[in-house]
Amino acid sequence: MVRLEYLRRIGTLKRNSQAYLASPEVVAASALSGVISGPGTYQVPANWSGIEYGFGTDMESTTESKLSNIVQQLDSLIKRVESAQRTSSDESKSVTTDTEILPGFPERISGEILFCDADNLDTDGIYPGKLTYQDNVSKEAMARACMQNYDPEFDGIAKPNDILVAGWNFGCGSSREQAATALLAKQIPLVIAGSFGNIFARNSTSSRVGISLF
């Protein structure tokens, strides 16, 4: 196996994080045994005859079947696009351009851009797990811990009313509410990202932290 530094993909953004790159056989054997195991840990079943091709048809994939599948997928895509265009055209006749502002959120937010160059920034990167189950963390301590695992110098860089701009899947990982409230404590009113973790998005709305897709 080859050890790689593979940040932002293994549930933590701590800078000394490590991951292991392995073959599918090693991964499958390790998952079954609960420890890192080699492909020889499990023997091939006596009645195993090989890979079954196709989608449950026991038929080997051919050029004709692949082309047929592509054509079917393209037809389905065209139908969805045409349907979406008709729906969009109908809705544009009745929908105004005003954006609904939820109660408790400001109508306008202005501030400097604070760019976070990371996809899949998980909740441990936003708020460290070592503080998650402590009930006596003050608002000031929560603000200092905000984004600490992503960048230890974040506390000295971020200023009140800064707008945090990140990549895709911001706030993935655990359901800890503090990932949202830490941003609130740090006085970051808005996070803009390509996408958000579902639970983080709900926690942010409940905590009145603005989120927006770019």
- Per-residue pLDDT tens for 48-89? 777 665 555 556 667 777 787 778 878 888 888 888 777 766
pLDDT of residue 33: 85
Does the pLDDT of residue 4 top 70, yes or no? no
DSSP per residue, 85-150: HHHHHHHHTT--SPPPPPTTS-S-----EEE---SS-BHHHHS-GGGTT-TT--HHHHHHHTTTTT
Q: What is the mean pLDDT of residues 183-209?
A: 91
| pTM for the predicted model, two decimal places | 0.54
- Whether residue 214 contacts residue 193, with contact meaning beta carbons closer than 8 Å, is answered with yes
